[in-house]
Amino acid sequence: MIRYGIELKDGQSIIIYSEELEVEGIVRYSEEERLWTAVIDWDAIQEKVPIVPQPEIQDISHMVEKKMGKMYT
């Protein structure tokens, strides 16, 4: 996190997200574990639609074959 210039502060509000989930959390430092944690409301987790949808993988071999054939005719 240092590399990206991110500085956490106890009590700071953050948004935690993964590919399809998002939830607001409060940053807490655990002295016992010596690490940062986030307190979240598990019932507040929301499903999100990706901002940039991932295209479906398609078989494009037929398109490549057509173009390659044109190059050699």
Check: CB of residue 27 under 8 Å from CB of residue 12: yes
pLDDT tens-place values along the chain, 73 residues long? 788 888 899 999 999 888 788 999 999 999 999 999 999 999 999 998 766 555 554 555 555 555 444 444 4
Task: Provide the terminal-to-terminal Cα distance of the chain, rounded to the nearest Å.
Answer: 55
pTM: 0.57
DSSP string for 10-60 = TT-EEEEE-SSEEEEEEEEEETTTTEEEEEE-GGG-EE---SSPPPPP---
Q: Where are the domains of the chain?
A: 1-48
Residue that is written with structure tokens 């509000």 in the block: 13
